[in-house]
Structures are given as structure tokens and as C-alpha cells.
Amino acid sequence: MSRSTILIIEDNALQAKKTRTVLESAGYEVLLAETGATGFKLAKTKPVDLVLLDMVLPDFSGDQICKWLKRDETTQSIPVFMLTAKDTLEDKVAGLQVGADDYIPKPFSEKELLARIQAGLRVKLRQDELRGVKNKLEDRLKDVVEMASTDVGTGLTNRRHFNDLLGKEFSRAQRFSEPLSCLMLDIDHFKKINDTYGHPAGDSVLFEIAALLRQEVRTHEVVARYGGEEFVVLLPKTTAKEAMIPAARICKNIAGHHYKGLPPDRVVTISIGIASLPDPLITNPEVLVQCADFALYKAKGGGRNRIEISVGAELGKHKI
């Protein structure tokens, strides 16, 4: 088990030497700084477990150094004990108000100093343990949240999480009068792939297409598996005309890709439907998706391996 390290920030050489001797005799590692700036740097760069900080220093006051230590993320968990010849109630309150964990007046008893240090280190140990547990719980929570929002088969955003993101993007587009495009994608004749080459090959095709789609989206865009062999892409600040460019690129890349488990000459194609804001008849996120789905329906009916755009007015005239 490693020894605890105590940092002494003290400009009085005689006092520093005396305190260092006491601490080393008790089994502690000791670091020494004669100025506040040097002490602050040591606390940030060395594995310090506790700081003994003199109130009067040649460059900065002990109060100022204590404030820096307690505000810095790398040092704020280190206990700071203020050492001073001042022993009034006001001085003690002032030291504690700037973040000090304890206040020890000079001259101090060696036994009292060691006892207070031991108590401070025990508190720090418990806090470190609690912080470790908290970090583990936060990591687990992140994993759970990610699992709940991720499609297992492709690693993309799942439908449920996509709907949450869609609602936020739709509201933002309406609030700022910005365009928003939704692309619905479906793999052409996917059932034939499963029937001819087996479901493992079909699963591989889904996974590889997901990877290709992920390469096409930018950080502020969303790509998700909508269900079965359907995918959806959400493009903020993008009109229907502008959305045709990435849609055409997606069609080309998917058709030109060689898929594991399929013969080299087996071409996989997709059909894409696009719907966009602004559109006076697309009044909510669900209608935007329905409109994109209708456009996909048109692309399928038009021979597949193509892109179609639909507007809200078409939904009232046709049933998908």
C-alpha cells in the first residue's frame, strides 16, 4: 500500500523543515513548496493527498491559493489545512469560507497535527471511494441509455430514440423557420436475399448498409434503423432539393458495395422517399414521416432503385 503524500506550502524554512520531519517520521511522503505558485503547480502535477498551507506567503496569500485549489477540477478534492499564527475566530472563519477543510493555529502540537491529518485523509479516502462508485454508476447509466437507444442488429439509433430526436428537430425547424428533410430508405427485394442466401447473409447486408449510411451523415444529422429493412435519415437545415444530393450518393454507394455472404456480382439497391419542411400540410413529426414513407411507396411503385419526393398534399389523396 502506497504512502500518503502531504504537500507543505510554507516559506519559513525552519518551520517547513520541522513539519517535514514530523510527517516523514510518521510515514508520509512530503513535498515542499516555498511559494504559493510553486505549491499550486505541485498540487496539479503530483499525486498529492493533503495540503498544509501557510496563510502568509511571499507571492500570494494562503486564501488565494486555497481558492485556486478548490476551484480547479484536478485539485478541488484535495483536503487543504490552513496553518497560521493568527488564532482569532474571524481568522478561522475567513479560512474556512475560502474552502479550507481545517484550520490549525501555530504553534501546533505534533500529536494534534498528525491526528487531524489522519482524520482528513480518512475523509478523503471515503470521498474518493464514493466518487469511484458514482463514476461507475454514471458509466453504467450511460451504457444503459446507449443500449436503450441503439438498434442491436446495426448499431444505429433505434426507432424509439429516432422519434425523440425527430420531435426536437421538428420543433426547432418550425421555431426558426428552417428546412428539415426526412429520408425513408428501403432495401429492394430484401426478402429474396434472405430466401436465397440465408438470414445470416441478410443480417450482414443490414449491418454493412448501416455502416455505409453512418459514413454519409454529419454530426448534426441522424441515421436510424426504422424497422426490418427500412432506414431513416434526418437532415436538419436541408431542403428537399438539397437532400437529393446525399440521397443519390447513398444509392450509388450501396449499389456499388460488395457484401459479405453474397456473390461478387450480386447488386443490392435501395429506394428512397423524401419529405421536407417547410410544407403547410406537414404539421407534426408523424406527418413528416408519413409523407416520406409515401414518397418511398412511389419509388417502389416506380420500379425501385430510385428516389422520389412527396409533399403533404399527396397524403390526403392517397392511402399508403
Name the residue range of residue 45's domain: 5-140
* Total domains present in the chain: 2
DSSP SS3 for 176: coil
Same domain assignment for residues 169 and 239: yes
Same domain assignment for residues 221 and 301: yes
* The length of the chain, given as a count of residues: 320
Same domain assignment for residues 287 and 180: yes
Same domain assignment for residues 46 and 193: no
Q: Are 84 and 62 in contact (CB under 8 A)?
A: yes
3-state class percentages of the chain: helix first, strand second, coil last, to nearest 5: 50, 20, 30
The residue from 93, 108, 140 where one domain ends is: 140
Same domain assignment for residues 208 and 292: yes
Q: What tens digit of pLDDT does each residue of 170-211 get?
A: 999 999 999 999 999 999 999 999 999 999 999 999 999 999
Q: What tens digit of pLDDT does each residue of 117-164 get?
A: 998 888 888 888 888 777 787 777 676 656 677 888 899 999 999 999
Same domain assignment for residues 54 and 131: yes
pLDDT tens over the chain, length 320 residues: 468 999 999 988 999 999 999 999 999 999 999 999 999 999 999 999 999 999 889 999 888 999 999 999 899 999 999 887 765 566 666 656 667 888 888 888 888 889 989 988 888 888 888 887 777 877 776 766 566 778 888 999 999 999 999 999 999 999 999 999 999 999 999 999 999 999 999 999 999 999 999 998 888 899 999 989 999 999 999 999 999 999 999 999 999 999 998 999 999 999 999 999 999 999 999 999 999 999 999 999 999 999 999 999 988 766 54
The residue written with cell numbers 481558492 in the block is 67
Same domain assignment for residues 179 and 72: no
Any domain includes 181: yes
Long-range CB contacts for residues 81-85, cutoff 8 Å, separation at least 24: 81/50, 81/51, 81/52, 81/53, 81/116, 81/117, 81/120, 82/53, 82/54, 82/55, 83/10, 83/52, 83/53, 83/54, 83/55, 83/108, 84/54, 84/55, 84/56
The identity of residue 79, as a single letter, is P
Residue of 10, 169, 229, 308 marked catalytic:
229
Same domain assignment for residues 196 and 305: yes
Any domain includes 148: no
Q: Which residues pair with 275 in a beta bridge?
A: 182
Q: How far apart are CA 213 and CA 280, in angstroms?
A: 30
The residue from 87, 105, 140 where one domain ends is: 140
Same domain assignment for residues 169 and 47: no
Same domain assignment for residues 295 and 204: yes
Determine the Cα angle at 313 with ends 312 and 319, to 5°. Answer: 85
The residue from 140, 173, 190 where one domain ends is: 140
Same domain assignment for residues 205 and 128: no
Same domain assignment for residues 135 and 192: no
Any domain includes 49: yes
Residue 173: give its domain's CATH number.
3.30.70.270
229 is catalytic: yes
Any domain includes 153: no
